């Protein structure tokens, strides 16, 4: 058995940005035809580890005289590596013969990721950006920023390239390395300055809160959002997502892994699955055809509904526990399009007392791990409509609301949302924007959660354990003495 092994340097020497872009176009075409198979990636994040590991399997059918093959990308994401002078992505891509299962090649995953991600962006930009685009803005100055600058220079004839990074020296170093590019290269003083008048934008950062805002973009700008690789990471504000035509190669990956899109749903800015346009040819996939790092391509649409500008954010709301990102309760209220006061649904104590056990029965992954939260949506007769698990109950709620969006069930009038753990302000907020009139939790709600639930007409139940419970707001919906 002979196995081809290519180091980081070998991959960079053998795979040019142009050749990789052509290969990615072919793979994305295959995916659109159903000739590839890529399940969602799995992630292992030990609590005391310095990073986390992602496993991304895939299969590709025969193509152009090449036999079918299996592939596995195993990559470690190590946030501390840049300080060591190393790429944050370290790992291997292994190819296997689809008939015998024997390994045929082992490639350096860091180099593959560097070239492939930028190559997919080049394909997307060539298909979606305006032909007369002349100004490119890049937010970030790391490995992906450098790779994107090289890849995009061969797609459009940019006259101006602006780079912004929080550390000016890093942005300056990136420009110094790209002196051969035929464009005016400058370091911007801020992200907003970099985006002013930009036709094409690349966000290649490790940000957990938006580095790009809707009012910084010119009409018709094309945005390649590259850096966010988990539900907790965000580079783009929800106003931009809601006001854009969204292109992706995998709706499944987008719904489960793209924090920007999931938050736009839970905030009520996206209420119809038709707002998402799937164009798998134009977005991110690696050499296995897998959308590994959530490359999201956005084109601003003139006829897309814009969010209410009065609902300003002081800082962003994440999918994790914590204080709400709104300026006030009033700022949250203008976000929702649904009025809970008029929802006539009623529940009984008997029905509510049945929910914790039904929620527990739906936790199949919890049975194997013992460490997951859950959320479930119920009818007033305690029938389960949907249930989801996640390491955080906020994420589980996001998944339930995402299911409702896909099924075109929003608003979720006449339903009950049950969550494990406590009921935070943010959980009440998410239920409110989805039109859920009753929220029940195993543990206590926060004071702010109770105040908000009461102000919007939501029934909030806490300490729901067995036949015992506390009703904190909307008690008129709980009918004592009625049958289930």
Residues catalogued as catalytic: 321
CB count in 10 Å sphere of residue 466: 8
- Residues 255 and 306: their CA atoms lie apart, in Å, by 21
Q: Three-class SS of residue 48?
A: coil
Residue 117: C-alpha distances to residues 290, 294, 295 (Å): 11, 10, 8
384-390 β-sheet, strand order: 384-390, 373-378, 416-419, 438-441, 459-465, 468-473
- Residues 475 and 96: their CA atoms lie apart, in Å, by 61
Distance of CA 383 to the CA centre of its chain: 30
Q: Three-class SS of residue 92?
A: strand
Residue 414 exposed, middle or buried by CB count within 10 Å (0-12, 13-18, 19+): middle
Q: Which two tokens stand for residue 3?
A: 């196995």
- Residues 420 and 386: their CA atoms lie apart, in Å, by 15
The residue count for the chain: 484
Residue 141: C-alpha distances to residues 146, 149, 160, 194 (Å): 7, 10, 16, 13
Question: Is the backbone peptide bond immediately before 250 cis, with ω within 30 degrees of 0?
Answer: no
Query: DSSP assignment of 333-390, as one string?
Result: HTT----STT----B-HHHHHHHHHHHHHT-HHHHHHS--EEEEEE-TT--EEEEEEE
Q: Which two tokens stand for residue 22?
A: 């052509």
Contacting residues for 82 by C-beta, under 8 A, at least 6 apart: 88, 142
């Amino acid at each position: 058995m002979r196995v081809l092994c290519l180091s980081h340097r070998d991959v960079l020497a053998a795979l040019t940005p142009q050749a990789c872009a052509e290969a990615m176009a072919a793979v994305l075409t295959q995916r659109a035809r159903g000739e590839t198979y890529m399940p969602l990636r799995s992630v292992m994040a030990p609590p005391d580890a310095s990073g986390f590991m992602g496993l991304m399997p895939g299969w590709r059918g025969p193509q152009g005289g090449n036999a079918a093959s299996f592939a596995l990308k195993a990559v470690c994401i190590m946030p501390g590596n840049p300080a060591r002078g190393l790429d944050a992505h370290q790992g291997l891509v292994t190819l296997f013969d689809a008939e015998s299962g024997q390994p045929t090649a082992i490639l350096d995953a860091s180099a593959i990721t560097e070239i492939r991600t930028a190559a997919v962006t080049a394909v997307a930009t060539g298909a979606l950006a305006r032909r007369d685009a002349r100004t490119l803005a890049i937010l970030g100055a790391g490995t992906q920023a450098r790779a994107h600058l090289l890849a995009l220079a061969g797609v459009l004839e940019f006259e101006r390239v602006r780079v912004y990074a929080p550390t000016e020296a890093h942005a300056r170093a990136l420009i110094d390395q790209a002196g051969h590019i035929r464009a005016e290269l400058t370091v911007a003083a801020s992200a907003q300055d970099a985006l002013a008048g930009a036709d094409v934008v690349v966000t290649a950062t490790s940000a957990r809160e938006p580095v790009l805002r809707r009012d910084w973009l010119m009409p018709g700008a094309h945005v390649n959002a590259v850096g966010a690789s988990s539900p907790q990471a965000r580079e783009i504000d929800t106003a931009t997502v809601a006001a854009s035509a969204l292109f992706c190669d995998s709706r499944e990956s987008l719904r489960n892994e793209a924090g920007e899109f999931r938050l736009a749903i839970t905030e009520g800015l996206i209420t119809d699955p038709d707002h998402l346009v799937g164009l798998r040819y134009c977005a991110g996939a690696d050499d296995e055809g897998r959308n590994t790092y959530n490359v999201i391509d956005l084109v601003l649409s003139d006829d897309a509904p814009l969010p209410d500008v009065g609902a300003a954010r002081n800082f962003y709301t994440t999918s994790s526990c914590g204080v709400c990102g709104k300026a006030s309760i009033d700022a949250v209220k203008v976000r929702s399009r649904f009025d809970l006061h008029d929802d006539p649904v009623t529940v009984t104590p008997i029905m509510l007392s049945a929910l914790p056990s039904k929620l527990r029965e739906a936790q199949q992954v919890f049975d194997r791990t013992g460490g997951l939260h859950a959320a479930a949506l119920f009818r007033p007769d305690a029938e389960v409509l949907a249930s989801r698990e996640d390491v955080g109950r906020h994420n589980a709620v996001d998944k339930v609301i995402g299911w409702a969006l896909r099924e075109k069930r929003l608003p979720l009038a006449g339903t009950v949302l049950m969550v494990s753990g406590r009921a935070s302000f943010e959980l009440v907020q998410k239920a409110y924007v989805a039109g859920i009139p009753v929220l029940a939790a195993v543990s206590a709600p926060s004071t702010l959660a109770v105040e908000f639930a009461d102000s919007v007409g939501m029934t909030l139940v806490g300490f729901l354990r067995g036949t015992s419970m506390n009703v904190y707001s909307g008690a008129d919906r709980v009918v004592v003495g009625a049958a289930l």
